[in-house]
Amino acid sequence: MTMGGRAIPIVIFADTGGHVLGQWGPRPKHVQEVMTQFKLNNPDREAPDYQEKLAETRKEMMRRYGEGTDYQAVIIKELRSLLESF
């Protein structure tokens, strides 16, 4: 669960004692920041314009993902950076 969401998994890295060393996800940072900002600005899911704003947010997220598979390299870079930090 991420900020109330239920569908997108995250990756959690822990040591053998179960202590969390870091986490990644649910999306590349430059994509996730759009949804994070949306949720901060629109806490009321019952608001009349919530669904319209959500659709706009999802459209912007897809734009940030871009065409093709370039976003996969971004994910690998973020994961590599995280792994190198511990």
Q: What is the pLDDT of residue 5?
A: 59
Question: For residues 13 and 83, is the Cβ–Cβ distance under 8 A?
Answer: yes
List the domain boundaries for the chain.
27-84
Q: What is the pLDDT of residue 41?
A: 97
The whole-number average pLDDT for the span 2-28 is: 86
**Residue 2 pLDDT exceeds 80:** no
Query: What number of other Cβ atoms are within 10 A of residue 42's Cβ?
Result: 14
User: What is the rounded CA–CA span in Å between residue 42 and residue 34?
Assistant: 12
pLDDT digits (tens, 9 = 90+) for 27-71: 999 999 999 999 999 999 999 999 999 999 999 999 999 989 989
Q: What is the pLDDT of residue 67?
A: 87
Q: What is the pLDDT of residue 8?
A: 77
